[in-house]
Structure 1
Amino acid sequence: MRFELSDLKLLGSRVSTTSSDQPENPVNVSWYQWIWVFPLALFFRLWLATLRIQSNFKPQTDAAGPVILILWHERLFITPLIGQIFLDRRITALISTSRDGGWLAAFFKIMGLHAVRGSSSKRGASALIELARNVKEGRNAGITPDGPKGPRRVCKPGTVVLAKLTRRPFLLAGINFHHAIKLKSWDQFSIPLPFSKVEIHFETIPHPQREEDNEEVALRIQNRLNEISGI
């Protein structure tokens, strides 16, 4: 899969290359750590199966083509279930290069999701290109636009760049957990309690035009995602 020069120019100043606490090379789970990944994945698969899902969205058929799934980082736990219930095409998720990202990538692999490792600050351009290739090959993309380290509920412009590269629509997922465990993390990561109700409000937004300002589009996505999330 090749990109035109005009496509690659979209990656220019809109993807940050400043330093952060994310390693340049992705940290992966070692072979002996997989011993823990399998039982944890099985445990959470059973956990997810108990949730009572309510949604305004009918399962998407393969003919609809790939989308760019957008949800806040704090709702990441529900991603595998969204893929299983609502989307025919496999999800490729953008996951950070950190050690935590390595565990998440391993967990997602068992749950049937593919991972591209990178962020807006490390391996940003190469990660977006790889993710765009996956979309153009027919897979859905999954992005938490405020990840991997925040600010919380702030959409970064790299999300918009991906839509311009692939010319595929956004699928916003506003998620409300009725009863959940809330962790003391930067995003207040939430895990819905077993057998609790989860409301998911989906909304499709057409891909932005090349001439549109990335920051302005990102702000519109941010505001709309907050609205359908009940924030």
Structure 2
Amino acid sequence: MSLVKRLSRHPAVQSALGRLAAAYLRLVRRTNRFTVEPAGSDPWLDGLSPFIAGMWHGQHIMVSFAGRPVDRVATIISKNPDGNVNTIALTRMGVRVIRASGARGRAVRDMRAKGGAEGLRAMLRALKNGEIVAFSADVPKISRRADAGILTLSRFSGRPIVPVAVVTSRHIRFGSWDRACLGLPFGRGAVVFGAAIHVPREPDPETFEALRCQVEAEMNRVHDRAYTLVGRPDRVGDNWLGPARPKPSEPGREAGANTPA
């Protein structure tokens, strides 16, 4: 392990980085003019709560922006040490962090699976206790392809999935597999909630796949709408399933590089 990696995992360094990240996120939230759609959605969201807030993985950095003051929000972050900074930052932003392996695909259908079942049980408890659970819907390492995990959580909890997108007009797009975005200050922002999707307890395979496709399509729709509201294109939208590639209008930009937008 490199010296930089060892330093980045030191508890004091991670604590400082987490506090700094939270302070930066507060600055972004205060200095962007956010539009929420649908307008006047509070009664509708109250009627659905507690729900599963479905997000694409690249949105996880700004998940706290979607929460309202009355909401209690929980999310899951892996126990990997690299997740400690995000945990500190989100906790300081008012999000309760569950440290466990995510509930993914076949792992959560087999309740004996270590890790997946642990995360599933923790999120079920959060929903039962009235917390909104923010959960990334992607297949691991495949951006914007909905996984079975979020539907399984809905099945077992009986709670609906509400797709949500949080974007800002000024942002940095990272070259990670999820093409994560970090908002920049002094711009416009949008929070868009999609149509609630209910998953029956025992769906047949055809129904389950149809609902998975519905979640995927609605997640993509709210992202398209959010970027339209801030007047910027979603630069991942034409390349959801593959690595980042330079566009013809960007001849000097290398694939995978961090790209300010």
TM class by shorter chain equals 0.7 to 0.9
Give 1:92's match in structure 2, choosing from 42, 59, 74. 74
* AA matched with 2:165: G
Distance 1:114 1:42, change over 3 A: same
Give 1:53's match in structure 2, choosing from 22, 34, 45. 34
Give 1:183's match in structure 2, choosing from 174, 184, 187. 174
1: CA distance between counterparts of 2:10 and 2:41?
33
* AA matched with 1:192: G
* AA matched with 1:118: S
Give 2:62's match in structure 1, choosing from 48, 69, 78. 78
1: CA distance between counterparts of 2:187 and 2:61?
14
Assess if the C-alpha contact under 8 Å between 1:67 and 1:169 holds in 2. yes
Assess if the C-alpha contact under 8 Å between 1:60 and 1:88 holds in 2. no
2: CA distance between counterparts of 1:29 and 1:48?
28
1:146 corresponds in structure 2 to 138
1: CA distance between counterparts of 2:192 and 2:75?
20
2:248 corresponds in structure 1 to none
Distance 1:143 1:192, change over 3 A: same
* AA matched with 1:222: E
Give 2:210's match in structure 1, choosing from 198, 206, 216. 216
2: CA distance between counterparts of 1:225 and 1:43?
26
* AA matched with 1:201: V
Gaps of 5+ in 2: 1-8, 108-113, 225-236, 238-261
Gaps of 5+ in 1: 1-27
Give 1:128's match in structure 2, choosing from 107, 120, 139. 120
2: CA distance between counterparts of 1:106 and 1:126?
21
2: CA distance between counterparts of 1:154 and 1:170?
16
Deviation at 1:59, TM superposition (A): 5.3
Assess if the C-alpha contact under 8 Å between 1:70 and 1:171 holds in 2. yes
SS at match of 2:143: coil
Distance 1:198 1:99, change over 3 A: same
2: CA distance between counterparts of 1:154 and 1:103?
26
- Which has the higher relative contact order, 1 or 2, with Cα contacts under 8 A spaced 6 or more apart? 1
- Name the TM-score, length of structure 2 as normaliser: 0.69
2: CA distance between counterparts of 1:63 and 1:178?
28
1:193 corresponds in structure 2 to 184
Assess if the C-alpha contact under 8 Å between 2:19 and 2:88 holds in 1. no
Distance 1:80 1:175, change over 3 A: closer
- Deviation string 1:139-188 (CA, Å, 9 cap, x unpaired) is 000011116x4200011111011111111111111344323211111111
SS at match of 1:205: coil
1:19 corresponds in structure 2 to none
Deviation at 1:102, TM superposition (A): 2.2
Structure label with greater radius of gyration: 2
Number of residue pairs the alignment of both structures matches: 201
* AA matched with 1:219: C
2: CA distance between counterparts of 1:179 and 1:35?
25
SS at match of 1:143: strand
* AA matched with 2:28: W
1: CA distance between counterparts of 2:10 and 2:28?
23
Q: Among all aligned residue pairs of Structure 1 and Structure 2, give the percentage whose two residues are the same amino acid.
A: 22
1:24 corresponds in structure 2 to none
- Name the TM-score, length of structure 1 as normaliser: 0.77
Deviation at 1:66, TM superposition (A): 0.7
